[in-house]
Amino acid sequence: MNEGMYSSDRQDWATPWSVFNELNAEFRFTLDPCASAGNAKCKQYFTEEDNGLTQSWTGHTVFMNPPYGKDIKDWVYKAKTESHLRTHVNKLIAETSYPSGKRTIVVGLLPARTDTRWFHDHVYGKSQIRFLKGRIKFEGATNSAPFPSMVVIWGGRIGVGTDVIDVNDV
């Protein structure tokens, strides 16, 4: 068992390139708001010092693998509000005949913790959910994660996706 993934000592487990590339082929990401210089997956990224929670994600297609600690609720709230806020702005822009802006889509790689308040408040019924088959082995980890993962997509269809991503196939 990988005890490090249960502790709060380290929350910056990097997404495996194989998983990112599979998603990037579909979404074409432009922003990684939860990165470090060493693990950024997009050309534009925010580090912990930049504090992606306080930055605008407007108009981006965002890939988010947030810290999995207690602050994860803040990240999923930000993802939901950024994507929904931009959707409402686009509707208003279209109604007032201004040139429409690009829709904000946020794709999050998250622990599949369906028993948490953040899941029910900000994910379920407010996004599309794709559960991952198998356990991810994050970059820098000795073993696979001791928990299941899911991909959550805000700003697109809502519901549980029929596509299940098999981490053994990517």
Residue type, 17: W
Reading the block at residue 47, the tokens are: 């580090």
The second-level CATH assignment, the architecture, of 10-166 is: 3-Layer(aba) Sandwich (3.40)
Torsion angle, CA of 41/138/148/162, rounded to 10 degrees?
Answer: 40
Domain ranges of the chain: 10-166
Residues 86-126: tens digit of each pLDDT: 444 444 444 433 234 578 999 999 999 999 999 999 999 99
- pLDDT confidence of residue 13: 77
**3-class SS at 78?**
helix
CA 94 – CA 98 distance, rounded (Å) = 6
Query: Model's pTM, two decimal places?
Result: 0.82
| Contacts of 9 by beta carbon, 8 Å cutoff, 6+ apart | none
Residues 13-29: tens digit of each pLDDT: 799 999 999 999 999 99
